[in-house]
Structure 1
Amino acid sequence: MKTAAIILAAGRGERAGNGNGPKQYRSLGSKSVLRRSVEAFAGHPAFGPLVVAIHADDRALCTAALGDLLPRVEIVVGGATRQASTQRALDHLQAGAPDLVLIHDAARPFLEGDVIDRVLQALHEAAAVVPAMPVSDTIKRIGENSHVLETVHRDDLHAAQTPQGFRFSEILAAHRSAAASGGQTFTDDAAIAAWAGMRVCVVRGSAENTKLTWARDIALAEARYGSNAMFPDVRTGNGYDVHAFQDGDAVILCGVEIAHDRKLSGHSDADVGLHALTDALLATCGAGDIGTHFPPSDPQWRGAASRRFVEHAARLVRENGGRIANADVTLICEAPKIGPHREAMVKIMSEMLGIDAGRVSIKATTNEKLGFVGRAEGIAAIATTSVIFPGSVPE
């Protein structure tokens, strides 16, 4: 199938600060934000036409940013809004009539090929596809005078990313209908698709696929490609935890409930694997341990899912500029058997950490009948994580 990509780069980036020009032309190391976004598609074998929508004043900036990629790229002048820029790019592609089109924000320069692959794969069955990540923060709805109106249930909430994929003819028709309706404003193309009656499918995005919105985002991105890029700040964190058995009928290990003749004792759900993983993540940014953030004396954590602890620790890592490279958990127990549940555990940990399953390892071993674990009095876990931070390392 003929597949095209549109990269939207017509914005002014006011929230990021205008002192150094539009954010899509800022340098991240030796390449601009725009070039890094375009390269994700130019280096992918699925794509034919690549269209970049730019501001009318930015042609020289775009030409300088793309350099030798220009033979692969068609440039169109965007409109006053993101929506208008997308429609102009779609209109430009109509002459070649691709079967599929992916639409991407230039301000997401850390796009990985596996996100593109998931979107393309889903387009075999769906007319519209959005990569998204579960929302881990508690969401508050705010009213007048900054008063909290309600806490929004977040279990079904996801943060949409790009590239969003569509069947070309259908998203072009949807954009034209929205423009003709007058007064319809949408923040992304999936919203237009849904408004037009297209069914939108969601696939897993990536925690690395962040959008450069604020000045701090750009500062962190620039630091990743700074002068110390030859010496990345790689940190390793270790975590250890143990929980005793008590009367019950199941244990929860690495996010998976497993039938057993007892359960683990603990203030939360006693997921010994995720507790060790939380400590390992916190160790990489000097953020204390699990008890610092989720004290067992606090009743709000009674029976809490340990996934919340891991997602909190992963968010702290990323707020400090870190990128999680891998996570390894070893479960030490005589029973239950871990092997039949390993795949499900890897999938859950991959989702909560926002990294590919290939970067997650879960192992199990016995204690050869020695000690409290060998006597089947409890389960222990050891976790190790590697996180890469921007900046220098000590000489």
Structure 2
Amino acid sequence: MRFSDIIVAAGSGSRAGGDKQWRDLGGQPVLRHSFEALRAAGAEEIVVVLAPGAEARARETLAGLEGWRGVVGGSTRAASVRAGLAALACPPGQPVLIHDAARPLLPKAVVQRLLEALETHDGALPALPVADSLRRGPAGTMEGVADREGLWRAQTPQAFKRSVIELAYAAWADEQPPADEAEVVQRHGGRVALVAGDPRLMKLTYPEDFAMAEALLPRQIRIGSGYDVHRWGPGGSVWLCGIEVPHDQTLIGHSDADAGLHALTDALLGAIADGDIGDHFPPTDPKWKGASSDRFLVHAAERVKARGGRIVNVDVTLICERPKVKSHRDAMRQRIADLLGLPLDAVSVKATTTEGLGFTGRGEGLAAQAVVTVDLPAST
């Protein structure tokens, strides 16, 4: 069924610390999550109701997404919804879903249940039965028990035919603003269905709600691998896994030639399919001549974080006959742990030889390989 949508994003979000619709959740703003969920459910037209002056921020947040327009809301939710209704282009008989931007984890099945309920009702909203026992205690001390029978926790989006909600708002004469659109339609004589909501459809109201929402985001585990080689040349020390190791040679490269960190950087970029170290730090660019490879690794870690990802563990293997790595291994592990913000037991560094075989066995160069595990939000 075709439907339009209004996303109410004009609130200040003060209880959540402010600007909650713009805050990051799993690597992207809350508003974008809500928008993409509605688009995935089939919304063909979306009006985003914004606070005055937030238009540019909305364009940045929804960059690359089509089929939406922004409109400035009012001082109350009701005023904002009315502004959104006035901006719609859909016909009077088309279903309109009105959704809080601060409910980003909207399952497609909830939208389907709402649209089905509209076939026999004037409106519909998702709701959850109250499971906890209720107490009265306005002064912080228990004064009685409230009956929870027949009580429901209302969620959004709430669904109505456009003509139904517009006529109901036009008839609203109470000076007190309504709690939501379902109240407006019911007061106007409409029948509003309660359909099964979803616990994931929580409203981000307080700062701690963001941690809960992060935990509810669908996740995926990605594996990345990296490999790097540098040849030996004249020198008195070599950089390996962020540690300067005394040696009678050094590795030759455009940067500091830290093969361990280069392999690890490539592994992180590979886990998020973000190219390789040469794409981000071209060896033809003089800016990176002699650069510390710490910078490359931190950059890759920041790219993972920007995607809402979390590095779970890393494993680096250095392949060489010399220098001997064992006495420096703990320092290398600690350096990588510090650069990536990982606990030490999530970082492995080890070394092996090729028993005199190949270019590493002949002492012509050193090789490194790395494997990483990254926890990412699942692709929509």
Task: Report the TM range for the smaller structure's normalisation.
Answer: 0.5 to 0.7
Residue in 1 aligned with 2:45? Answer: 49
C-alpha contact 1:131 1:205 (8 A) present in aligned 2: yes
> C-alpha offsets along residues 336-357 of structure 1, whole Å, 9 cap, x if unaligned?
xxxxxxxxxxxxxxxxxxxxxx
Runs of 4+ in 1 over 2 A off after TM superposition: 94-98, 145-150, 219-226, 228-231
Residue in 1 aligned with 2:26? Answer: 29
Residue in 1 aligned with 2:6? Answer: 6
- Tell me how far 1:60 sits from its aligned partner: 1.5
> C-alpha offsets along residues 275-334 of structure 1, whole Å, 9 cap, x if unaligned?
xxxxxxxxxxxxxxxxxxxxxxxxxxxxxxxxxxxxxxxxxxxxxxxxxxxxxxxxxxxx
Residue in 2 aligned with 1:152? Answer: 146
Which structure 2 residues correspond to residues 221-240 of structure 1 after superposition, within 5 A?
221-222=213-214, 230=221
Give secondary structure in 2 for the equivalent of 1:117. helix
Give secondary structure in 1 for the equivalent of 2:135. strand
C-alpha contact 2:6 2:47 (8 A) present in aligned 1: yes
C-alpha contact 1:87 1:176 (8 A) present in aligned 2: no
> C-alpha offsets along residues 124-171 of structure 1, whole Å, 9 cap, x if unaligned?
11111011011111112334x334343111121110111111121011
Give the unaligned 5+ runs of structure 1: 232-390
- Does residue 186 of the first structure (1) align with residue 182 of the second (2)? no
Residue in 2 aligned with 1:197? Answer: 189
- Tell me how far 1:213 sits from its aligned partner: 0.4
Given residue 183 of structure 1, which amino acid in structure 2 is its aligned partner?
Answer: E
Select 1:67's aligned residue among 63, 74, 84.
63
- Does residue 165 of the first structure (1) align with residue 165 of the second (2)? no
Distance in 2 between the 1:74 and 1:156 partners? 39
Distance in 1 between the 2:220 and 2:200 partners? 18
C-alpha contact 2:21 2:29 (8 A) present in aligned 1: yes
Given residue 39 of structure 2, which amino acid in structure 1 is its aligned partner?
Answer: A
Select 1:101's aligned residue among 86, 93, 96.
96
Residue in 1 aligned with 2:328? Answer: none
Distance in 1 between the 2:215 and 2:110 partners? 24
Distance in 2 between the 1:77 and 1:133 partners? 31
C-alpha contact 1:133 1:204 (8 A) present in aligned 2: yes
Residue in 2 aligned with 1:326? Answer: none
Residue in 2 aligned with 1:82? Answer: 77
- Tell me how far 1:30 sits from its aligned partner: 2.5
> C-alpha offsets along residues 153-202 of structure 1, whole Å, 9 cap, x if unaligned?
11211101111111210111111222xx2513122111111111111110
Please provide the CA RMSD for this pair.
Answer: 2.6
Given residue 147 of structure 2, which amino acid in structure 1 is its aligned partner?
Answer: H
C-alpha contact 2:5 2:43 (8 A) present in aligned 1: yes
| TM-score, length of structure 2 as denominator length | 0.55
Distance in 2 between the 1:195 and 1:225 partners? 36
C-alpha contact 1:130 1:162 (8 A) present in aligned 2: yes
Q: Report percent identity of matched pairs.
A: 37
Give the unaligned 5+ runs of structure 2: 223-341, 347-380
Give secondary structure in 1 for the equivalent of 2:52. coil
| TM-score, length of structure 1 as denominator length | 0.53
Distance in 2 between the 1:118 and 1:24 partners? 25
- Tell me how far 1:95 sits from its aligned partner: 6.6
Give secondary structure in 2 for the equivalent of 1:203. strand
Aligned length: 227
Given residue 194 of structure 2, which amino acid in structure 1 is its aligned partner?
Answer: V
Given residue 61 of structure 2, which amino acid in structure 1 is its aligned partner?
Answer: A
Select 1:132's aligned residue among 111, 127, 133.
127
C-alpha contact 2:113 2:196 (8 A) present in aligned 1: yes
Distance in 2 between the 1:88 and 1:108 partners? 20
Given residue 202 of structure 2, which amino acid in structure 1 is its aligned partner?
Answer: T
Instruction: Tell which structure's C-alpha radius of gyration is larger.
Output: 2
Which structure 2 residues correspond to residues 218-297 of structure 1 after superposition, within 5 A?
218-222=210-214, 230=221
C-alpha contact 1:3 1:98 (8 A) present in aligned 2: no
Mean Cα deviation higher: 207-216 or 168-177: 168-177
Given residue 12 of structure 1, which amino acid in structure 2 is its aligned partner?
Answer: S
- Tell me how far 1:54 sits from its aligned partner: 0.8
- Tell me how far 1:203 sits from its aligned partner: 0.6
Give secondary structure in 2 for the equivalent of 1:111. coil
> C-alpha offsets along residues 9-43 of structure 1, whole Å, 9 cap, x if unaligned?
0000010013xxx1001111222100110111112
Distance in 2 between the 1:24 and 1:160 partners? 20
Residue in 2 aligned with 1:92? Answer: 87
> C-alpha offsets along residues 38-70 of structure 1, whole Å, 9 cap, x if unaligned?
1111122x432111111112112111111111x
Distance in 1 between the 2:192 and 2:215 partners? 36
C-alpha contact 2:91 2:162 (8 A) present in aligned 1: no
